Amino acid sequence: MFPVLDLTGTAFMRGKMMGQLARRQVASSVRCYATLFAACGIDWLEAQRRAAEFHDIVAGCGGGIMEEMEGIALGSGFSVNEILALNCRTEILPPSFLGMETVNSDEARGKNEALGLFDIGECTSVAVTGKRCADGHTRVAQNWDWVGYQRHNVLALRVHRDEPWPSYLTLTEAGILAKIGVNEAGVAVGLNILRATNDRQTIGIPVHIFQRMALDCADVRTVVSLARSLAFASSSNAILGDASGHVCSLEYSPSGAAPVYADHGVVAHTNHFCDATLAPFQAPLTQMLTTEPRLDCANHHIGSWPDYIDDSHLQALLRDESGAGVAAADAKFGAICRSPDPSLPLELQVESVFGVIIDCNARDMWVAPDVPSKVEFERIAL
């Protein structure tokens, strides 16, 4: 299982505690993302400069977010702008960064003494209302696909806070405040990357900062209302559920925020826009050839479910390696569970880093801390 850190005290003290306890993992995350930025001709100093442009808007989010990052910086030995660069990594990378090379790429990699060029991963997520679950509990589940290298830097943070802020449990990368999680109000949030043609053209709320802000909320409706009140710098999808049984897939981008609601108590999402008002801004899918087949595969599983499901049905979906329900020619692109290609260098091997099933009512997670088809799911409770 991933390291589980219990963080207490003020926002600054919680951040400092995380930085100290996970100093090695934070340093490794810095190396990972410095490498990605370098592939786009952005050396680490330039990445920090770009991150600094988000300082004021992040500080304005409240909730102790900037204080937490200041604490992480002190505890880990990095500067605030380096920690900010991790939390703004989606906004620093250009929208067409996949496989992108520029005239500055070699120079930037040289400056960083980078480890190599990483590729992109893709995630599949699903939310199920309590009315479709045998025990009446709302579920949010997903695989997080990325370079396997980052598995060594995944942390489970159990963050204890005083009122009015809810405590929460999150799976995230070291140095990044939050990614996938559940709070004590029973609000669960997952994440799928999206890309729009107008991403990164203006300063706005960074993706990972919004994921953290969602964990401050009391229910799904509040998260949706919050998103509609904000301006975003780039795009993603937050798949949501709460203990009262509400679920939706919340797409957000510089063009706005739009919830995609459940059909027969279930909503699934991959890496392309589904809302009709946001879809016209979809960036070309040439670097995301699997997103549509994976959604077909997920919906095939969902269509075969009985009236009431349990975690075994969600585990089977997250462990799918066959692309079930996808046309034979595209089946390999429809696999939801992704194993690394051993023919590639280690730093290029994209895979399902972990799978997670969140029970909104129990306020816990069942986590597969490796490729989900290869390991058992283990429980972490808030």
pLDDT digits (tens, 9 = 90+) for 144-153: 998 888 999 9
Cα separation, 131 vs 265, in Å, equals: 7
Q: Of residues 375 and 36, which shows the higher confidence score?
A: 375
Average pLDDT rounded to a whole number, residues 100-126: 53
Q: Is the pLDDT of residue 105 over 90?
A: no
The confidence score (pLDDT) of residue 94 equals 66
pLDDT tier at 287, thresholds 50, 70, 90? low
Q: What share of the chain is helix, strand, coil (3-state, %, to 5)?
A: 35, 25, 40
Cα separation, 8 vs 110, in Å, equals: 40
- Tokens 């396997």 correspond to what residue? 148
The confidence score (pLDDT) of residue 95 equals 55
Q: Is the pLDDT of residue 107 over 80?
A: no
Beta-bridge partner residues of 4: 156
pLDDT tier at 348, thresholds 50, 70, 90? low
For the chain, what is the mean pLDDT?
91
pLDDT tier at 346, thresholds 50, 70, 90? low
Q: Of residues 343 and 99, which shows the higher confidence score?
A: 343
Q: Which CATH class is domain 124-381?
A: alpha beta
Q: Is the pLDDT of residue 212 over 90?
A: yes
Cα separation, 280 vs 285, in Å, equals: 13
Q: Is the pLDDT of residue 109 over 60?
A: no
Q: Is the pLDDT of residue 116 over 80?
A: no
The confidence score (pLDDT) of residue 114 equals 41
Q: Of residues 110 and 322, which shows the higher confidence score?
A: 322
Buried b (16+ CB within 10 A) or exposed e, 78-108: bebbbbbbbbbbbbbbebebbeeeeeebeeb
Q: What is the DSSP letter of 316?
A: H
Taking the domains of the chain in order of start, what are their residue ranges?
8-112, 124-381
Q: Of residues 342 and 348, which shows the higher confidence score?
A: 342
Which segment of 8-12, 173-177, 324-328, 341-345 scores lowest on mean pLDDT? 341-345
Tokens coding 355: 């799978």
CB 271 within 8 A of CB 291: yes
Residue 187 one-letter amino acid: V
Per this entry, what is the length of the chain? Answer: 382
Q: Is the pLDDT of residue 233 over 60?
A: yes
Tokens coding 35: 């490498």
- The closest of 366, 370, 374 to 139, measured between CA atoms, is 366
The confidence score (pLDDT) of residue 285 equals 78
The confidence score (pLDDT) of residue 118 equals 36
Q: pLDDT tens across 239-262, in order?
A: 999 999 999 999 999 999 999 999
Average pLDDT rounded to a whole number, residues 106-119: 43
Helix (H, G, I), strand (E, B) or coil at 40: coil
Cα separation, 152 vs 181, in Å, equals: 19
pLDDT tier at 344, thresholds 50, 70, 90? low
Q: Of residues 14 and 351, which shows the higher confidence score?
A: 14
Q: What is the DSSP letter of 283?
A: P
- Beta-carbon contacts of 272 under 8 Å, excluding residues fewer than 6 positions away, are 194, 279, 282, 285, 288, 291, 292, 295
- Tokens 């679920």 correspond to what residue? 247
Could you tell me what percent of the chain has a pLDDT over 90?
Answer: 78
Q: Is the pLDDT of residue 276 over 90?
A: yes
Mean pLDDT is highest, among 17-26, 276-285, 289-298, for 17-26
Cα separation, 208 vs 189, in Å, equals: 11
Q: Is the pLDDT of residue 97 over 90?
A: no
Tokens coding 219: 């229910």
CB 191 within 8 A of CB 212: no
